[in-house]
Structure 1
């Protein structure tokens, strides 16, 4: 059995499970209802039928059902949802588990905890106790999500002050009866994740973000302004609206990438990463790195040069034969931490978010593994993105194996054991322009918030 802290994840070791929410009944203790939302890649339901709760207890596919509440006059109470993971439709990317009360703060519910049980044996697979609920009246407890052909579970612990109606509306569900009138009912805002030590949310940061949007508006750059606003929406949902971090983009310049560069697809992708960087980095820029047979530092992409920077860099660095992840990771670690040597103890500093983009397998797997292992002690999170033909399924991106293809090694790195912290994530796309901006920004933030929480707790972010 795995006990998860907030933000952490674990593999789900059974095909059919029950998610059982438990708490202690007693005088004055709020009652709680559990529900499930079947979400597509854009984080929304397809229709109201994807919302499973006490008034709609079974999904049309039969894959998710409300198992019902087991009340008690005093002592433990449970409410549960049953999930048959192999039966989940391909269009569904994740299943959010939620809890709600009838207007009373969830923080007043004593002994609140979530257990994931093997449906066949009743064995407890995963437990989540550290929810930190406060004034919220609706709460996302956790989520099942696809990864590498299997399912994983992440402990989320974020909520809304506007009850079940507010939560449902935020996930795209039509609600007939509005929530009780309050300022937060129209636009529910999740509570912020704990800020990394040494990087408190401040008015100065907020003022810089306002100034950034004004600068873009004054320049008439509606495209980048829209991108930064979409990035802001995704970050705010995760409590990272005023988070500060360095952002880097690391681009494969092997010969096979040529068509993607010529079609402008990597330029468009880099602009989306820049939008994220402009929210995170007070310098409103991202650091650029290139790799093929060798690795290169390629300066910063900024508000002033973003339309031409990539093309100018590619004039200086022609496409190369070969793909070496390890060389790129070595250069990035040297750039931010002064050394790329072996590390076996925590190294503290400001967080660095690296977007690592490739279309093929590396030639230096052992070097890459060693670099990932050492980087897990550093304040660096690496988001790998593979570009290649996706298998037949709904949507333009995938979270599962390509059956021994180019990205098998990236899937290995995503779940690589023995690290100080899990500091990598991976997804692949058939075409980087097929995804909406919102879907991409949500993917980029799938595991980073959980890593931030753990990195702060273990002293590697400052």
Structure 2
């Protein structure tokens, strides 16, 4: 459908309550905000204010993605919410100087809303997405405030004592990966939010955007994992890990292995085919995608998979982050496992082991006690229920030790 341009004050109907993407374009960096509102045009609680420190509404109806765009899904708005305002805040300039324009995309339709009538204002509501009767509409609002952030949020019922220092817009933001453009609006918004969370952790850990690393996911396929496979937890973990790969790997691909008694190297996971990959390869039994899962067995034997990853990655020119998910084991051959990890300390490989559940994790619990290593090349943490831990918490745990290893490995000349 051809583009439609809305002048200030004009409105048009949406193509039903389906997701739409709202992108703010400007000649200068702006902070984008969103407010989920009732008929009184006020927020019902703090969670209804979506901004850089709180980039998603609990309902999933409004998500501020990693590029600064907003994805709105009207069908997911909670009861009592009848509209969403999309606003911006400028620092060190006025909106008249910023040359603001909003582009809304829904299905095959694009609507453009120029920021008309804004001059000395430093904050504004640019558009309103609202329900009128049984129909959802959008309006080019263009309502501005000279008082900046504080005036904008207070007008929507958000209580602030003083205007906070806004987080500077990071020009070098989360990296994009090939295939993202093929995702639906909802899937892309979910990926963008995860990418932003990974990117933020790396920034806090002072891992610069120039750092590249291969990301390898190792998946336990022992029969004790049956419930996690059946309930989709393992499949969701794969999709959660793709966000890590997008921010570290040169081509944004996640390398993958599956293991039990034996192990298998699986095709790489890419963002545009992650769901299909899960359907094809996340299985415990049978022959799927050319892999005979029955031959891999159903109990833990860690030495074969550890040896295979080492063989495949020992000559890597880039650092390798191995994300090793297991629900137990590492007791058989404990000394051999410890010896292998110790000897691998001279290689460009960091092992991040993640224990799932309340099992006995054997040698993993004593990784910090290993002596004779040129650098500490392994970390371990356990979570009782990985499906209940938030993406942000999981990424912070996953990346808690890897940045320190990067520094130590460079000093020890493990990395060149």
Structure 1 length-normalised TM: 0.49
Shift of 1:419: 1.1
Q: Is the 8 A contact 1:208 1:282 kept in 2?
A: no
Distance 1:288 1:188, change over 3 A: same
Pair 1:320 & 2:297 matched = yes
Which residue of structure 1 aligns with residue 238 of structure 2?
A: 270
Alignment correspondent of 2:195: 228
Name the structure 1 match of 2:326.
358
Q: Does 1:349 align with 2:317?
A: yes
Could you tell me which of 406, 409, 414 is aligned with 2:360? 406
Equivalent residue, structure 2, for 1:250: 218
Partner SS for 2:273: coil
Task: Kindly report the root-mean-square deviation, in angstroms, between the aligned alpha carbons of the 2 structures.
Answer: 2.9
1:270 positional shift: 1.4
| 1:370 is aligned to 2:370 | no
Match of 1:421 among 372, 375, 390: 375
Q: Is the 8 A contact 1:189 1:236 kept in 2?
A: no
- 1:321 Cα shift? 2.6
* TM-aligned CA deviation for residue 253 of structure 1: 0.9
- Structure 1's unaligned 5+ residue stretches are 1-43, 45-173, 180-184, 191-202, 339-347, 390-404
Q: 1:260 to 1:186 in 2, by over 3 A?
A: same
Compared with structure 1, are the counterparts of its residues 207 and 433 closer, same or farther at alpha carbon in structure 2 (3 Å cutoff)?
closer
Shift of the 218–324 alpha-carbon distance from structure 1 to 2, 3 Å rule, reads same
Residue matched to 2:82: none
Report the alpha carbon displacement of residue 211 of structure 1 after superposing the two structures with TM: 6.7
Q: Where do 1:189-200 residues align within 5 Å?
A: none
Confirm or deny that 1:439 pairs with 2:393: yes
Encode CA deviations 1:236-261: one digit per residue, 9 max, x unaligned: 22122512110000011111111111
Aligned to 1:21: none
Of 242, 264, 289, 2:257 maps to 289
Distance 1:457 1:233, change over 3 A: same
Q: How far 1:216 sits from its partner (Å)? A: 6.4
Task: Report the CA distance shift for 1:211/1:283 in structure 2 as closer, same or farther (over 3 A).
Answer: closer
Q: Is the 8 A contact 1:217 1:225 kept in 2?
A: no
Residue in structure 1 matched with residue 62 of structure 2 by the alignment: none
Alpha carbons of 1:215 and 1:349: their partners in 2 closer, same or farther (altered >3 Å)? same
**Distance in 2, Cα, partners of 1:459 & 1:357:** 28
Question: Are 1:294 and 1:327, in contact at CA under 8 Å, matched by a contact in 2?
Answer: yes
User: Which residue number in structure 1 is paired with residue 77 of structure 2?
Assistant: none
TM-fit CA distance, 1:213: 9.6
Q: Which residue of 1 aligns with 2:114?
A: none
Q: Does 1:332 align with 2:299?
A: no
Secondary structure at 1:434 match in 2:
coil
TM-aligned CA distance change 1:442 to 1:448, over 3 Å: same
Q: Which runs of 4+ in 1 moved over 4 A?
A: 174-179, 210-214, 216-220
More deviation, 286-295/214-223: 214-223
Paired residues, number = 247
How far, CA to CA, are the matches of 1:208 and 1:248 in structure 2? 20
> Compared with structure 1, are the counterparts of its residues 406 and 335 closer, same or farther at alpha carbon in structure 2 (3 Å cutoff)?
same
| TM-score normalized by the length of structure 2 | 0.54
The aligned counterpart of 2:166 is 186
1:429 Cα deviation after fit = 1.0
Alignment partners' CA distance in 2, 1:418 and 1:178: 53
Structure 2 SS opposite 1:376: helix
Matches within 5 A, 1:25-104: none
The Cα offsets for residues 58-101 of structure 1, whole Å up to 9 and x where unpaired, read as xxxxxxxxxxxxxxxxxxxxxxxxxxxxxxxxxxxxxxxxxxxx
Shift in Å, 1:451: 0.8
Shift of 1:418: 1.7
Change (3 A) 1:223 1:217: same
Q: Distance in 2 between matches of 1:351 and 1:435?
A: 27
Q: 2: CA distance between counterparts of 1:444 and 1:217?
A: 26
Contact 2:255 2:268 in 1 (8 A): yes
User: What is the deviation of 1:303?
Assistant: 1.5
Query: What whole-Å deviation, never above 9, does each CA across 1:201-226 have from its counterpart, x for those lacking one?
Result: xx9xx599257697367765322222
Distance 2:405 2:369 in 1: 14
